Chains A and B, each alone.
Chain A
């Protein structure tokens, strides 16, 4: 079993501190939801964990299976098992999804050790069938001209193929209509299992109707102010973020 431990983490963008001492542990097999209003530091947390160069970690630690990842390059962290489903994934013109995922998997092989192409495609098509993705999809260039829903499905497909130990999902529900939300959620639910830990970042409770979390955390002003089970999300939905502001922020 793997663990992702975030301890007393402080993150700044430039001079401004955004995450102010956040602690959270996710174990394999668990789905954690991190909720909170905009601007509270949720996305900053996910980008700092994967090593985005614009985010400076000024204190605390992030450990994957007991080993700090903070000195690792972003690609080393990825190969060690951390995956971020981006809120706004980049376009890569001219590179097909199939070739991109293949390059990502190839990067996990030793130099000179070629990925078996036919086995790769077989597995890719299995995952696509599982996620109900059309075969033509992977011959399109990564995210180029994609709708919001297509971008998110592309992220989920990559996650399915790469099989990370931990997936950070940044506002996976944003920009999706209800049908797209259902499809993406089904995909995530298919991938849930003992080998995967998920930290799902969301502004809205509605995503949690489709992906039911084991744990829910409420974030406010750079810290987790309350943790609980899925009922916390329902409570939050009923009382709104003003409740967080009034009651939890000063707790």
Chain B
């Protein structure tokens, strides 16, 4: 197997570089044992079901989803027309070298192992994680949970495995938070999903260290469709982190995940994403959590890279006194469009939602915020706060805000604040006068802008975010 390497070996020298874009820009010429070919029809879906040995109900679920996907129009009446540039006939929907993830890195095939070593995953696992799953194209190549955590009864495995080993638990919640027909891309995912994580945390168990998944696209013209389902039982607590990279191909790549979270009474789930897709990736992801009584769901979402990201993590506040929070950071550089936001649907009294979204647009980069807050008339004592700040760097940048707040009834409190600021030339000059290069100065401004949010991340991830911002800003000077 040969290695196609587009950058020098900088990443190899720095195993901690993790998810920075240049270090993600390499690929291996892997011979896949399972390939569903290009294009999408009933046979593609059949092939995936057969390879994965799907139970009949999953087979049926997939075929129904395919119909829903084909029937739904592209949402270009409200979203960007760039979606029309996705060529569904050219995409490969399933590529793998086997369906069973390895439990130790030694068993992982060399090229795949080297990929994750270059991305720093085994190192991070040793340092601070309770468990890791590493997905390479369609399937997890590696999956492991530390003994101390599995002894508490925590289940952390690939969703394909979970379907077989914990079918009842899986089926109870699967597709319940995000129904197949929620949107065109959730339907697509439901038809061809493969990989992703399944987590179950038993009542009262607090997982002390984060569980992490890493999603790696290696192949060209590929679509990655992982499906993640996390269930925190009563009073349980868990933090899940995901990172993603892909090499920079000239053709487009599609990433369309569905992530469902279920926090039962008094449970807490924190879901952290630091994605750094190459800028040929269409990243169209549906993420939603269901919060029962007094439960808390927090999404921390950092979107860097990609050609187009559309992602609006949401929380359905189903139980009394439940809380939902979305912390979102998006950086849109030249040629990128970050269309991100949050959804908060209040469904019970005394529920609280908080959205803080910060976007940075550089050069021709475009960022869009879409927010939805819904509080129906009959509810009492609900609170919702939205803060949405945009930073523009260079005059061509564009930012749009589309808040949609429907609050009925008078016994609820809602706040919405939005601001747009620019990095001024005076500010940059001031920093350069202290010796910082133009790139360092811009990078510091941007880091300052997101600082209050970044400080809420686990340390390793805030360091990573800073590194990514530095890299993007260094590259934007010219």
Report which A residues bind B (CB closer than 8 A). Answer: 50, 52-53, 73-75, 78-79, 83-84, 86, 89-95, 99-101, 103-105, 107-108, 141, 158, 162
The complex places the Cα of A13 from the Cα of B273 at a distance, in Å, of 48
Q: Is the CB of A162 within 8 A of B434?
A: yes
The complex places the Cα of A75 from the Cα of B441 at a distance, in Å, of 10
Nearest opposing residue in chain B for A77, CB measure: B433
Highest count of chain A CB atoms <10 Å: which of B424, B425, B433, B436: B433
Q: Which of these binds chain A: B133-141, B397-405, B447-455?
A: B447-455
The complex places the Cα of A50 from the Cα of B435 at a distance, in Å, of 11
A193 to chain B minimum Cβ distance, whole angstroms, is 21
Say which residue of B427, B434, B438, B440 sits within 8 Å of A158 (CB atoms).
B434
Say which residue of B427, B440, B450 sits within 8 Å of A90 (CB atoms).
B427
- How extensive is the interface on chain B, given as a class? 20 to 34
Could you mark each residue 413-435 of chain B with 1 if its beta carbon is under 8 Å from any beta carbon of chain A, else 0?
00000000100111101111111
Say which residue of A73, A94, A95 sits within 8 Å of B432 (CB atoms).
A73
Q: Is the CB of A89 within 8 A of B435?
A: no
Q: Is the CB of A92 within 8 A of B435?
A: no
Report which B residues bind A (CB closer than 8 A). Answer: 421, 424-427, 429-438, 440-441, 444-445, 447-452
Chain B residues, Cβ within 8 Å of A104: 431, 434-436
Q: Is the CB of A84 within 8 A of B451?
A: no
Highest count of chain A CB atoms <10 Å: which of B431, B440, B449: B431
Q: Is the CB of B444 within 8 A of A100?
A: yes
Query: How many contacts between A and B, using CB within 8 angstroms?
Result: 78
Q: Is the CB of A53 within 8 A of B425?
A: yes
Known: A100-B444, A103-B444, A141-B448. Contact between A92 and B436, CB under 8 A?
A: no
Q: Is the CB of B450 within 8 A of A103?
A: no
A127 to chain B minimum Cβ distance, whole angstroms, is 15
Nearest opposing residue in chain A for B427, CB measure: A90
A28 to chain B minimum Cβ distance, whole angstroms, is 19
Q: Is the CB of B452 within 8 A of A94?
A: yes
The complex places the Cα of A90 from the Cα of B432 at a distance, in Å, of 12
Nearest opposing residue in chain A for B424, CB measure: A90
Q: Is the CB of B448 within 8 A of A86?
A: no
Chain A residues, Cβ within 8 Å of B431: 90, 92, 100, 104
Q: Is the CB of A103 within 8 A of B448?
A: no
Known: A75-B437, A100-B434, A108-B435. Contact between A92 and B444, CB under 8 A?
A: yes
Further contacts, 17 of them, CB under 8 A, given A103-B436, A107-B434: A52-B429, A53-B425, A53-B429, A75-B435, A75-B437, A75-B441, A78-B433, A83-B433, A86-B433, A91-B427, A92-B445, A93-B421, A95-B448, A101-B434, A103-B444, A107-B437, A158-B434
